Amino acid sequence: MRTLPNQFLPVSPNDMKTRGWDECDFICVTGDAYVDHPSFGIVLIARLLESQGFRVGMIAQPEWESAASYRVLGKPRLAFLVTAGNIDSMVNNYTAAKRHRHDDVYSPGRKGGLRPDRAAITYSIRIREAFGRVPIILGGLEASLRRLAHYDYWQDKVRKSVLIDSGADMIVYGMGEHQITEIAERLKNHEKIDTINDVSGTVVRKKIHDHNPDEVFLPSYEEITESVETFAKSFAIQNEHTDPFSGKRLIEPYHDCVVIQNPPAKPLCATELDTVYALPFTRTWHPSYEKDGGVPSIEEVQFSITSSRGCFGNCSFCSLTFHQGKIVSSRSHESIIQEAKAISELSNFKGNIHDVGGPTANFRLSACDKQQTHGACLHKECLTPSACKSLKVNHSEYISLLRKLRGLPNIKKVFIRSGIRFDYVMADTDDTFFRELCEHHVSGQLKVAPEHVSDSVLKLMNKTPHAVYVAFKKKFDAYNAKIGKKQYILPYFISSHPGATLKDAVALAEYFRDNRFYPEQVQDFYPTPGTVSTCMYHTGIDPRSGKKVFVAKGMHDKAMQRALMQYRNPANHDLVVEALMKAGRRDLVGFEKQCLVRPRTMKAGRRIYYEGRKTEKAGVDKETMKPGKKRIHKEAGKTGKERKNKGVRKNRQG
């Protein structure tokens, strides 16, 4: 694969020698393979530091059973920058059912097992073994969402801040450009890492701390481990201080120290975003991975463009509020067009831009003018339960950008694959975006996330009522019929989200049945640190209201809700029947059109037969729908025609 004519960051002593370096200023350690693309956070940070004159090296996916791999580039002059990678290492290594994954798209050749569990902790410990008291700064999604005490789904316990468990010196949380720039300059000016305690968007640890009236003290770690009510209250406080304009310094006490979270850093402005995305990325994997066939994760992003950051949708199960924040910031049209031109020069480019978007593709502007100067509202949502009166619903700027990209030479199609907020689209009284979306930007299927059909569950998810999605789908289908295109919506639904009962799961299955939608893959709710939904899962309390919430917490309960989403899969039959019985919906087990599954059958020799009609089948008790005493029909030995005449029906389910 031919790449743009830029140079990779050093990964070996020979690379350093080629550049004439005897040491690095910063060494980045990551759980991902080294893919030099701006969608990899650690690479973007490394390139930013490089542009400011710092010498930056890269150690990708080091071995974790010994310290040898961390010595390959020597000791950095200023600090190690450590991240688990683009994805939380536990989510990367385990499914929602806590089964170990066998592959990893962020590793060469999709090979699994190249990053440890809780990689940020493991890497930091090994660096300490290798170099002792060298400064270690954690960053990335894993550290950002574990910056304070948090519920750990995999151990089913409340763990301490990752800063304590790792022994690192500092956490950079959120999007880290502002933070790392300030920290790098202060380290360069010989300031000690343990004296840099006041940078916005960072977390530090102190032995003692004097109370400041402008600070907010959280319940202690010991208190939140003893009481789920206290945990929920602590999370509610944290959730109120995620805004860079109104957020205050948070203090979390431990028995021998305090963890201090400084207020969030302000988002980058358009000019700053343009600068970081114009850095000299090669936009591909390091050549050392060629023998393995490269790194699969590049396939999703190589021909895609990040146009914005932040999301004011604020879904309960999403970590964006804790990581990127609610305030949307966007790149300029000129910056995005330049990147599109650079992509079109790649030899393997086929003419299609796969995506132009961000956390939410059609969020290009701030929700309202107030957010740019005063931040997001603390106790008011932009889109739920309906659009705020102050919300600016306008797609014209995004339409203009897409039109410019479509008009570039060598570009055939510009798709939107990162997902759109259909409720925001429906709130727009101008249908221009809807029309152009259908005409130009759907690659056969449009990804949207209605998540559920139960309005009570959707409310806990902080999503708009189901009727909004129904209206959107109807309008989408009508537009496509009008323009003569066969395009479809690919909806995402979540099973066993806090608040979802078996009856809600049955309602979702019935919706699938009625709409002839049979998902090949489904998403079971995955409790990850830093989300409102995970707090609800752990505590059974909605931290925003303090009200109790039903939680399907056991693996078997979660499995039943998941099975209902794929009720047509024969492997799920027993779970589906069990779930329907528990939900009081035995009417959905049988042979009528509305039934989800058929009852178990009885065998007579090599053939399978039913007796009677409807649910009164051979070997099945119609009250319990459980196998009864085995009965062999006296007509079983006759021909098919004879049996048919006698009213004996052959089972065709198998």
Domain locations along the chain? 13-205, 498-597, 599-654
* DSSP 8-state class, residue 554: S
**Residue 278 burial by Cβ neighbours in a 10 Å radius (0-12, 13-18, 19+):** middle
The one-letter amino acid at 612:
G
Other CB atoms within 10 Å distance of the CB of residue 188: 14
> In this model, does residue 59 exceed pLDDT 80?
yes
Backbone angles phi, psi at 118, to 5 degrees: 50, 60
C-alpha to C-alpha distance for 648 and 296, rounded to whole angstroms: 55
Q: How far is C-alpha 275 from the chain's CA centre?
A: 26
Q: How far is C-alpha 361 from the chain's CA centre?
A: 15
pLDDT one-digit tens code per residue, 277-307: 999 999 999 999 999 999 999 988 999 999 9
**Closest by CA position to 107, among listed 41, 39, 34:** 34
Question: What is the arrangement of strands in the sheet containing 649-650, beginning at the earlier edge strand?
Answer: 602-604, 607-610, 649-650
With cut-offs at 50, 70 and 90, classify the pLDDT of residue 646. very low
**Closest by CA position to 336, among listed 406, 419, 265:** 406
According to DSSP H, which parts of 485-628 are helical? 502-514, 532-539, 555-565, 573-582
Q: Are 552 and 579 in contact (CB under 8 A)?
A: no
C-alpha to C-alpha distance for 310 and 417, rounded to whole angstroms: 17
The one-letter amino acid at 158:
V
C-alpha to C-alpha distance for 402 and 391, rounded to whole angstroms: 22
With cut-offs at 50, 70 and 90, classify the pLDDT of residue 209. confident
> In this model, does residue 69 exceed pLDDT 50?
yes
Q: Are 181 and 45 in contact (CB under 8 A)?
A: no
> On the CB side of 457, how many CA atoms lie within 13 Å of its CA?
26
C-alpha to C-alpha distance for 313 and 384, rounded to whole angstroms: 8
pLDDT one-digit tens code per residue, 528-568: 999 999 999 999 999 999 999 999 989 999 999 999 999 99
C-alpha to C-alpha distance for 286 and 10, rounded to whole angstroms: 10
Other CB atoms within 10 Å distance of the CB of residue 584: 10
What are the structure tokens assigned to 30, written together?
């990551």
Q: Which residues fall within 8 angstroms of residue 516, CB to CB, at 6 or more apart?
A: none
With cut-offs at 50, 70 and 90, classify the pLDDT of residue 163. very high
| pTM above threshold 0.95 | no
What are the structure tokens assigned to 382, written together?
């932009």
Least confident range from 72-76, 101-105, 176-180, 628-632: namely 628-632
pLDDT for 419 equals 84
Other CB atoms within 10 Å distance of the CB of residue 409: 6
- 211 or 92: which leads in pLDDT: 92
> In this model, does residue 508 exceed pLDDT 50?
yes
Angle at 603 between CA 598 and CA 606, to 5 degrees: 125
C-alpha to C-alpha distance for 654 and 559, rounded to whole angstroms: 24
pLDDT one-digit tens code per residue, 246-270: 999 999 999 999 999 999 999 999 9
Q: Are 565 and 517 in contact (CB under 8 A)?
A: no
C-alpha to C-alpha distance for 108 and 33, rounded to whole angstroms: 7
> In this model, does residue 612 exceed pLDDT 60?
no
C-alpha to C-alpha distance for 42 and 303, rounded to whole angstroms: 19
> Tokens 């009284």 correspond to what residue?
429
SS3 of the chain: helix, strand, coil, percent, to 5 = 35, 15, 50
> In this model, does residue 351 exceed pLDDT 50?
yes
pLDDT for 6 equals 57
> In this model, does residue 615 exceed pLDDT 80?
no
Q: Are 481 and 491 in contact (CB under 8 A)?
A: no
> In this model, does residue 643 exceed pLDDT 80?
no
Q: Are 524 and 96 in contact (CB under 8 A)?
A: yes
Q: Which residues fall within 8 angstroms of residue 629, CB to CB, at 6 or more apart?
A: 619
> Tokens 């860079």 correspond to what residue?
244
pLDDT for 631 equals 43
C-alpha to C-alpha distance for 357 and 346, rounded to whole angstroms: 20
C-alpha to C-alpha distance for 233 and 231, rounded to whole angstroms: 5
> In this model, does residue 491 exceed pLDDT 60?
yes
> Tokens 């701390």 correspond to what residue?
209
C-alpha to C-alpha distance for 339 and 7, rounded to whole angstroms: 18
Least confident range from 4-18, 26-40, 201-215, 378-392: namely 4-18
pLDDT one-digit tens code per residue, 186-195: 999 999 999 9
What are the structure tokens assigned to 163, written together?
């800063």
Backbone angles phi, psi at 345, to 5 degrees: -85, -10
Q: How far is C-alpha 460 from the chain's CA centre?
A: 18
C-alpha to C-alpha distance for 81 and 168, rounded to whole angstroms: 10
C-alpha to C-alpha distance for 309 and 324, rounded to whole angstroms: 7
What are the structure tokens assigned to 391, written together?
């919300």
pLDDT for 499 equals 97
Q: Are 365 and 308 in contact (CB under 8 A)?
A: no
pLDDT for 206 equals 95
> In this model, does residue 4 exceed pLDDT 80?
no
What are the structure tokens assigned to 636, written together?
């079983």
pLDDT one-digit tens code per residue, 217-250: 999 999 999 999 999 999 999 999 999 999 999 9
With cut-offs at 50, 70 and 90, classify the pLDDT of residue 418. confident
pLDDT one-digit tens code per residue, 316-348: 999 988 888 899 999 999 999 999 999 999 888
pLDDT for 601 equals 66
Beta strands in 320-379, from DSSP E residues, in sequence order: 329-330, 352-353, 355-357
Convert 459-497 to b/e letters by CB count within 10 Å (16 or more is b). bbbbbbbbebbeebbebbeebbeeeeeebebebebbbbb
Distances (CA, A) of 438 to 434, 443, 488: 6, 9, 10
What are the structure tokens assigned to 225, written together?
């481990």
Backbone angles phi, psi at 497, to 5 degrees: -65, 145
> In this model, does residue 621 exceed pLDDT 60?
no
Tell me the residue length of the chain: 654
Q: Are strands 216-217 and 488-495 parallel, antiparallel or unpaired?
A: unpaired
C-alpha to C-alpha distance for 157 and 474, rounded to whole angstroms: 44
Q: Which CATH class is domain 13-205?
A: alpha beta
